[in-house]
Each structure stands twice: as C-alpha cells, then as structure tokens.
Chains A and B, each alone.
Chain A
C-alpha cells in the first residue's frame, strides 16, 4: 500500500515537473490585442495595425498602437512583437477592420487565420473601413479603449439600429457557402471620429457595392427578423418615422415554368414617433398603406441591384434549394439575375405615441 502511494506521487510529481516549463500566458505579462486593422500596402503587402490596451491603474487605460507591413498577417505578427514590450496575443480581438482596397481585392486570405486559430472567438466583429484602418484606430480616444469602443459602436447599432447582425460566424458561413454572399458594416472617418457609414456587399470575398446606413434599414428588414428597428419615410406630403419595429420575414420559392419564383414577405409592426402633421391616429390606415408601398419600392430597387451585380446577400439561393426539390446549382446561377423576386409588405402601426 505504501509503495503504491510513493509511486503514484512520484508519477504525478514527474508529470508536473516536466510540464512545469510549458509556456504560460499570465494575464498581466501579455498584451491583449482588442482590435486589429489590415490595410492594403504597396506590392500587395498588408499593413497591420493592432491596438492593445495597457491598464496602468484602476479605471485608467492607455491604448498602445503598433503598425507594421509584411506579405502575410502572421509575418506581421513577428514584426509587431518586435515592437511591443510584452507578447502580443490576438485571442481577445473584438473587432477586425479591413480597408476598402483590401476588401475589393478579396478578403479570403486575410480572414482564414481567424477560423484556423482555435484561440479566436467566433463572435468577433468584422468591418470594412473606407480609407485607412490605421487612421480609424488612432482616431478613437475613449476611456473604454479602442477595441471596446468600436465593438460597442457596432453592437448597439445592431441591437437598435439599421445594422443587420453579422459577426465572424455569419461572415464565415456566407463566405464558405457557395449559395450566398457576405456583407459587412462599413466604417469611415467623419471629422476625425469613426462612424458607421453603411453596408458593404461582397461577391464571394470581393467587395462590390456599398449602401449608406440610412438605406440599410430596408436591407435589414429583408434579411432577418428584427426585434427593434426603425423606418423613416418622406413623401411629398409629410415626413414620418416608425420606431420600435418588430418584424418577421419569410422567403418562399416556387417553381413556375422551369424558373423559380421567389417571394419575400416582410411584415412588421411599429409605432409612430415623428410625424410632420397632426391627427396621426386617424390617418393610421393611410400611413400603413403608404409605408407598405414605399417599402416595396425601396426593397425592389435594392433586390434589383443585387441581381444586377449577381450577388446574393439575402440567401435567396438557399431558400430555393431548400424548397424546390429539383434544384440545379448551375441553372440557378445563370438564371439568378433574371428570376422574378416579389416583395410583399404587411405593415401595421399600432400606436401613435403620446399625441393624437
């Protein structure tokens, strides 16, 4: 009995002693990168900018910014580490920015490391920046730190604004899938501050189109179920803003004469918050009709544009595949720019706020 204990303790001690020297990542002896930006540099190189907060004292934070240029992202890692006082670790990155030039060239090579490295999270956010990511990253001055700042900028717009929810998981799924195309939020600098400018649409991994954020609301309603959205409309008679929108969306595909026909039906309800005229309560049915019409018009225009560009950020092909038994990929791809896509809207405005 005693001998067994000695052997057991010996084995455990050996095991601990051998692995004792295993490299550790002690939390205050590493620099935790919270945001990274990749810009296209000359000769097809990529310029990487990372920001790692340094927490000197409770409640105080200093963002350290490192930049380097190399032919691949992990080559940059070496160069960046050569500048930093402690090891830079990217596992806690919250946001990754790509500049528009790089995105137009194709992002596949620059996002693949995010999937391969098991230490990366899946809910980090990606965004495209109009000019230089380095400028955006150095422009932020916040006690939260650049990473959290940009992350929260994107997140609250997803929760309550026009930005459709998209993170690395969604982007990756769209990128890998041959049946849909990804999109990303588009950031830009405005008076030295980063702001959400719009949405960038990709054909496979190449950026092909952008829309301003004011128009992204329509895309969002077409793209997903919305919990808290808004819709603004200006007609020749009045201006109106519908808030607190809860929506649902349905895509139906049927085969008609060898061609698939797709119907996107969106129904949403909301309340009026801004109305340039009086007596909104009485005009509600009228307003509903007008909003429906306006939405159909805007949506149709947007879908037409997608068809013209031959991109499918709405995942229409997936629904066709799921609902039409004899679906042929090649055939569909050829037919896509031409297939009829109908938009149906069903708007109900439930309240008119605190005034009549």
Chain B
C-alpha cells in the first residue's frame, strides 16, 4: 500500500518531530509554564522533554511490532474493528483539535498585532487551500513543508541575541528557588508545547527503516527542547516575573526592541515569517487526521482531507475571542496530557497483552 517511493528517509524524522512540536507555542509559553515554578520554570522544560522522550520510546516499541505500524492498525488489532475504529476516529478528532489550536491562535495574533479588522473566514479561505494543496497528494510534500518550516524560520533564533541587552541576571536568581513538585507541576503545562509528537503514531509507516529512526526522533525532541529552553531563559532574563504575568506573547515582545537600519519594527516581519513555522504544524496534523480517517473508513484520502479542512474552517470561524482561544488551548493541553501519558502507555500495555494472547492462541 505504501510504496517505497512514498517513504522518506529516516533522517527526516528529525524535522518531522521538530516541526510538529515547534509552532505557535513559542510565542507565549513562558508565561503559562511559570505559573507554578516562577523563574525556575525553565527547568520544567527539560523535565517535560525527558518525559516526552520516554513516550517516544514507548511509541517506537509499540509501532515496531506491527506490519502496518500505525495507530489505526494497532487499534484494530487490540480492540477489534468497531471499538478500534471508534478510538481511531477520536484520535483523528484530537489531531484536528491540535491543528485548530495552532491555526486559531495564529489568526488571533494576526488580529491583535496586524489587522484588527480582518475577516477571519476570508483569511482562512486563503490559508486552507494551501493546506489542502500540501496534504492532498503525497506525504513527501508534507515532509518538504516540515523541512523548510524548520530550516527557514530558524534564523529567527538569532533574534534572541537582541533582548540580551536588557538581561537582568537577578531575574532568574537564585536558581532552584522552587520545589521539585512545583517544577513538575509547571512541566505538565510545558507538555503542551511538545504535544505534536503524537503525529508520529500516524506517519511511522512512511519512514524508511522506521525502526532505526528512533534516534532521529529523540534528536528532534532534543532540538525542540533546546529551542524552547533558549527562548525561555532569554525571556526570564528579559522580563521579571511580575512583567511576565502581564504579557500574553512574550516572544513577540522581544521583537519590539529590535531595531535594524532598514527595519524599525521586527515583529511585523517576524509574525509573517512565523507562518512558515505554523504551516508544518497544521499540515502535519491535518494530514495525519485525514489519513487516520481514510484508513478507518476507506473513503479516499482526498475526500477525508477535504472533510478535515472543512471542520478546521468551521471551528476556527466559530471561535471569536480571546476566551475561546484560551479554552481550546486549555482543552488541548489537558487532552494532550491524557493522550500522551495515560492513553499511550495504556495502549502499549493492552497491546502487549493482546499480542501474548494471540500468540498463545495460535
């Protein structure tokens, strides 16, 4: 079914994982994660990344045992056709939710920073055909977008040097002023930034030598961690904690102070460039969702892609204000926690049991 030509080399798993994880979160996660651990919250990013690394390991253990090697196959094998199908549909819904969070938050930033009068649905009509164009035919295109979506916006990391002019080391001193419990509490919030890893459950069979690609997945996760860590530490040096509680998008605040001889305000350029960073997110999640649905119902990938994008459109248009965006962010964060840390381990165990039973039976 998946021919060799559709598969991508295992090296691209690095970019797929990184692109799936780094997205809209980079703009405002600093405030969210500092809720419990305050200025020590940067440590909770490391904790979160380590936990995710464990989840990736679990996923690879589980996926490697199956011929088809994706969550739909595992569902069918473990729970049978009906229950398995239902769970797959739920998983697809979860992926659409992730895409919605990313897209809607980005649109919100556009509304707040660039075009307060923009018609959201009309803007989506410009963006969503692009998403369909990416996901409708080949997985290779999705990978290409992920690759460019990591490489091209990576120059934005250079902008982290500018805020250092205002760095106040006392802001993050003393280190370890908070208890381990608080740091772990904060890291449960930081997980939201790493949630994209769940797409691995779907694109796994598209990787050449998939079983051996785990090191790239772990490296990708590590790269994500470094990026978040760098941004987090720079923002904690730049903002004091009282300031941080006030700003919604701390990273955009950095860009305000960048002044180049030909460009006085970097944030307008930065927000636009960030589109390349969120596009892989949306494309990967919608693609994974469409593929999950297609594998469940066998209705054709293109039709399912169209369906997923229509849902995305309707949900994004339906949500109109900051409150709504906050709510879906929270819901997605909680669901991400449940999916990654409750459901995946549970599925792993059930899958092991089921395999044992089947082996003994035959």
Residues of A bordering B, CB below 8 Å:
8, 11-12, 14-16, 18-19, 22-23, 92, 115, 118-123, 169-170, 172-173, 176-179, 315, 318-319, 321-323, 325
Contacts and interface: CB of A to CB of B under 8 A. Distances in A.
Nearest to B264: A121
B126 A173 contact: no
B6 interface: no
A121 B258 CA distance: 9
Contact of A22 (B112, B115, B173): B115
Interface in B86-125: 112-113, 115, 117-119, 121-125
Interface in B227-265: 239-240, 242-243, 246, 252-253, 256-257, 259, 264-265
Interface string B266-306: 01000000000000000000000000000000000000000
A18 B257 contact: no
A52 B252 CA distance: 27
Kindly list the 8 A-B residue pairs having the minimum CB-CB distance in the complex, ordered from nearest: A322-B173, A18-B122, A122-B256, A15-B125, A318-B170, A322-B170, A15-B126, A176-B243
30 contacts: A11-B125, A11-B126, A12-B126, A15-B125, A18-B121, A18-B122, A19-B119, A19-B122, A22-B119, A92-B264, A115-B246, A118-B112, A118-B113, A118-B267, A119-B113, A121-B257, A170-B166, A172-B243, A173-B239, A176-B240, A177-B243, A178-B242, A315-B170, A318-B171, A318-B240, A319-B170, A321-B170, A322-B169, A322-B173, A322-B174
Interface string B163-178: 0001011110110010
Nearest to B169: A322
B129 interface: yes
Given A121-B256, A172-B243, A177-B243, A14 B125 contact: yes
Contact of A176 (B121, B173, B242): B242
Contact of A321 (B166, B173, B243, B253): B173
A34 B166 CA distance: 24
A118 to B, nearest CB: 5
Contacts of A11: 125-126, 129
A306 to B, nearest CB: 18
Contacts of B265: 121
Contacts of A16: 126
Contact of B117 (A14, A22, A172, A178): A22
A186 B119 CA distance: 45
Given A318-B170, A322-B170, A322-B174, A122 B119 contact: no
A177 B125 CA distance: 44
Determine the main DSSP class of B at the interface with A.
Answer: helix
A177 B118 contact: no
A321 B239 CA distance: 16
Contacts of A321: 170, 173-174
A154 to B, nearest CB: 15
Interface of B: 112-113, 115, 117-119, 121-126, 129, 133, 166, 168-171, 173-174, 177, 239-240, 242-243, 246, 252-253, 256-257, 259, 264-265, 267
B314 to A, nearest CB: 15
A170 B256 CA distance: 13
A8 B306 CA distance: 13
A26 B207 CA distance: 49
Contact of B240 (A177, A319, A325): A177
Q: Find the residue from A119, A318, A322 having the highest chain B CB count within 10 A.
A: A322
Contacts of A92: 264
B123 A15 contact: yes
A79 B290 CA distance: 54
Given A12-B129, A123-B257, A173-B239, A23 B166 contact: no
Among A123, A178, A323, find the residue whose CB has the most chain B CB atoms closer than 10 A.
A123
Given A176-B243, A319-B170, A122 B253 contact: yes
Given A11-B129, A122-B257, 11 more contacts: A15-B122, A19-B119, A19-B122, A92-B264, A115-B246, A169-B166, A173-B239, A173-B243, A177-B240, A321-B174, A322-B174
A173 B168 CA distance: 10
A170 B113 CA distance: 22
A176 B243 CA distance: 6
A16 B122 CA distance: 7
A346 to B, nearest CB: 21
Contacts of B112: 118
Nearest to B136: A4
Nearest to B176: A325
Contacts of A172: 243
Nearest to A120: B256
B177 to A, nearest CB: 8
Nearest to A13: B125
Contacts of A323: 173-174
Contacts of B118: 19, 22
Name the residue among B173, B240, B253 with the largest chain A CB count within 10 angstroms: B240
Contacts of A120: 256
A173 B174 CA distance: 19
Contact of B122 (A14, A23, A115, A123): A14
A315 B240 CA distance: 12
Nearest to A177: B240
A32 to B, nearest CB: 12
B242 to A, nearest CB: 5
B125 A12 contact: yes
A23 B117 CA distance: 7
Contacts of A18: 119, 121-122, 125
B160 to A, nearest CB: 15
Contacts of B264: 92, 121
A8 B129 contact: yes
Contacts of A169: 166, 257
A123 B173 CA distance: 25
Contacts of B173: 321-323
A92 B265 CA distance: 10
Contacts of B166: 169-170, 173
B138 to A, nearest CB: 16
A179 B177 CA distance: 17
Nearest to B177: A325
